[in-house]
A and B are shown apart, each in its own frame.
Chain A
């Protein structure tokens, strides 16, 4: 058993029954965890004496409109620099109330990543120190990366739809 596999097993053991499902696409262990108590879940990985997943590589969201009750997935990429081991955590949220605890007490890096995720998908990070839009204008009234919204600028009138196959 390689080192990476051992670490993956340790991670699953640490997560215990928090790990709702797991698989390893392209060698990266991906675990679905419940949204409640996400901070404690991650803290147990960060403070584990062997794992030490102390580096938040990335935080983003994905929208699955066809999956009722689990429309928004918040995805965390954690990295253990001492072990060079990566782990992906996913928590699913209903679109009616997409709320999850903020990761800022553990990682300062989460601050803007969560603001970006809020800006794009409207995920409410409970306890975030400053949850405002970050990239878009403040008065924007929708969450542009959700699948139902159009990519194009709506104010353009010089495009003839017939020529674009729409």
Chain B
């Protein structure tokens, strides 16, 4: 069965439908997010389960994994990010084209988790901005899917001007990103 995305609010009549551009674009973006799986450890295995037949992330238009940062919309960071990995993660984020979202999956990526140790980065939000955090160690596939759905909500409702605003630029600058 083919499931169609709901159309956004707008004015409708015989042979026409009018709505604002950012709603249409938001709808398109939200239902075709191309994730870049930055899977390092345990959460990555649960992500494999999420991609598998039982949970099937394809239902949300995200089955096309983009291993190239250039074509990815959603950076899914899954697993512990050690300090050694930090610069790599930052570079991958930097290489992604706008608009981009970041989903931090699991306790390690979100806060360092149980690994409050000398070698682990205590949360990826110390080096890149994060849109949605998914708790759990590791989160169940359902939780990862919920995280993706939250990202879809953000993508759907984002104003087209957001990425050009002063606020957004300032936020990037605070992370030493341009």
For chain A, residues 148 to 164, give those with C-beta under 8 angstroms from any C-beta of chain B: 149-156
Provide the residues of chain B in CB contact with A154, threshold 8 Å: 118
Assess the A153–B84 pair: CB atoms within 8 A: no
**Cα A136 to Cα B86 with chains together (Å):** 12
Assess the B118–A152 pair: CB atoms within 8 A: yes
When each residue 50-70 of chain A gets 1 if its CB lies under 8 Å from chain B and 0 otherwise, what string results?
Answer: 000000000000000000000
**Cα A119 to Cα B119 with chains together (Å):** 12
Provide the residues of chain B in CB contact with A156, threshold 8 Å: 116, 122
With an 8 Å Cβ cutoff, the count of chain A residues facing the other chain is 12
**Cα A155 to Cα B112 with chains together (Å):** 12
Q: Tell me if B83 is interfacial: C-beta within 8 Å of chain A.
A: yes
When each residue 93-128 of chain B gets 1 if its CB lies under 8 Å from chain A and 0 otherwise, what string results?
Answer: 000000000000000000010001111101000000
Assess the B119–A135 pair: CB atoms within 8 A: yes
Task: Name the one of A149, A150, A153 contacting B120, with C-beta atoms under 8 angstroms.
Answer: A153
Residues of B within 8 A of A (CB): 83-84, 112, 116-120, 122
User: 6 new A-B pairs (CB below 8 Å) besides A144-B119, A153-B112, A154-B118?
Assistant: A137-B83, A144-B118, A152-B116, A152-B117, A153-B117, A155-B122
